[in-house]
A and B are shown apart, each in its own frame.
Chain A
Amino acid sequence: MSFASGRAPTAAVGKDLEPIRPSFFKRATSNIWVRATVFSIAVMWTIPTAGIFISSFREENAIKQSGWWTVFAHPFEASQWTLENYSEVLTSSGMLDAFLNSLLVTIPATVIPITIAAFAAYAFAWMKFPGRSLLFAIVIGLLVVPLQMTLVPLLRLYGDVGLTGTFLGVWLAHTGFGLPLAIYLLYNYMATLPKDIFESAAIDGANHFTTFTRLVLPLSFPALAAFAIFQFLWVWNDLLVALVFLGTGSETAVLTAQLNELVGSRGQDWHLLTAGAFVSMIVPLIVFLALQRFFVRGLLAGSVKG
Chain B
Amino acid sequence: MTEIRDDQYQSRRVQFLRTLSFGAIGVFALGLLWVGITILLDSDAVERIIVNIYDFIGLDAQADAIREAGLQDGITRAAIAIFALIVGVGGVWVVYTIFNRLIDVAPYKLQPHLRPWVFILPALLILVIYLIFPTIQTVILSFTEDGGFVENYSFVFTDPEMQIALRNNFLWLLLGTSGSVVIGLLFAVLVDRVRREAFAKTFVFLPLAISLVGASVIWRFVYVWRPEGSEQIGIINATLTAFGNEPVAFLQVQPWNNIFLIVIMIWLQTGFAMVVLSAALKGVSTEIIEAGRIDGASESQLFFKVVLPSIRGAIITVATTIFIAILKVFDIVFVMTGGRFETEVIANRMFAEMFKFRSFGRASALAVILMIVVLPIIIVNIRNLRRQGIES
| Closest CB in chain A relative to B187 CB, distance in Å | 5
Q: Is B299 an interface residue (CB 8 A)?
A: yes
Complex alpha-carbon distance, A272 and B171, angstroms: 33
Contacts of B282 in A (CB 8 A): 15-16, 18, 20-21, 23
Contacts of A108 in B (CB 8 A): 84-85, 88-89
Question: Are A52 and B217 touching (Cβ within 8 A)?
Answer: yes
Cβ-defined partner of B211 (8 Å) among A117, A153, A256: A256
Number of A-B pairs, beta carbon distance below 8 Å: 392
- B89's nearest neighbour on chain A, judged by CB, is A111
Contacts of B385 in A (CB 8 A): 303-304
Which B99-142 residues have C-beta < 8 A from chain A?
Answer: 100, 103-104, 111-113, 115-120, 122-124, 126-127, 129-135, 137-138, 141
Which B319-364 residues have C-beta < 8 A from chain A?
Answer: 320-321, 324, 328, 330-331, 334-335, 347, 350-351, 354, 360, 363-364
Contacts of A166 in B (CB 8 A): 40-41
Question: Are B231 and A65 touching (Cβ within 8 A)?
Answer: yes
How many chain B residues touch A (Cβ–Cβ < 8 Å)?
A: 130
Known: A42-B203, A104-B81. A24 touches B284 (CB 8 A): yes
Cβ-defined partner of B133 (8 Å) among A111, A153, A236, A304: A153
Question: Are A49 and B207 touching (Cβ within 8 A)?
Answer: yes
Complex alpha-carbon distance, A175 and B234, angstroms: 40
Question: Are B119 and A119 touching (Cβ within 8 A)?
Answer: yes
Contacts of A203 in B (CB 8 A): none
Question: Are B123 and A120 touching (Cβ within 8 A)?
Answer: yes
Question: Are A67 and B235 touching (Cβ within 8 A)?
Answer: yes
Interface string of B71-82 (1 = CB under 8 A from A): 000000100010
Question: Are B192 and A273 touching (Cβ within 8 A)?
Answer: no
Known: A145-B131, A297-B392. A280 touches B218 (CB 8 A): no
Complex alpha-carbon distance, A263 and B115, angstroms: 51
Contacts of A260 in B (CB 8 A): 213, 334-335
- A285's nearest neighbour on chain B, judged by CB, is B209
Interface string of B3-24 (1 = CB under 8 A from A): 0000000000000000000000
Q: Is B220 an interface residue (CB 8 A)?
A: yes
> Which A positions have Cβ atoms within 8 angstroms of B?
9-16, 18, 20-26, 28, 30, 34-35, 37-39, 41-43, 45-49, 51-52, 55, 63-69, 97, 100, 103-104, 107-108, 111-112, 115-117, 119-120, 122-124, 127-129, 135, 138-140, 142-146, 148-155, 157, 162-163, 166-168, 171-173, 175-177, 179-180, 183-185, 188-189, 207-209, 212, 222-223, 226, 233, 236-240, 243-244, 251, 255-256, 259-260, 263, 270, 273-274, 276-277, 280-281, 284-285, 287-288, 292, 295-297, 299-306
> Which B positions have Cβ atoms within 8 angstroms of A?
37, 40-41, 43, 77, 81, 84-85, 88-89, 92-93, 96, 100, 103-104, 111-113, 115-120, 122-124, 126-127, 129-135, 137-138, 141, 183, 186-187, 189-195, 200, 203-214, 216-222, 224, 231-235, 238, 267, 270-272, 275-276, 278-284, 286, 289, 299, 302, 307, 313-314, 317, 320-321, 324, 328, 330-331, 334-335, 347, 350-351, 354, 360, 363-364, 366-368, 370-371, 374-375, 378-379, 381-382, 385, 388-392
Q: A149-B138, A151-B134 are in contact. List 4 more A-B contacts (CB 8 A).
A: A146-B328, A153-B134, A302-B321, A304-B381
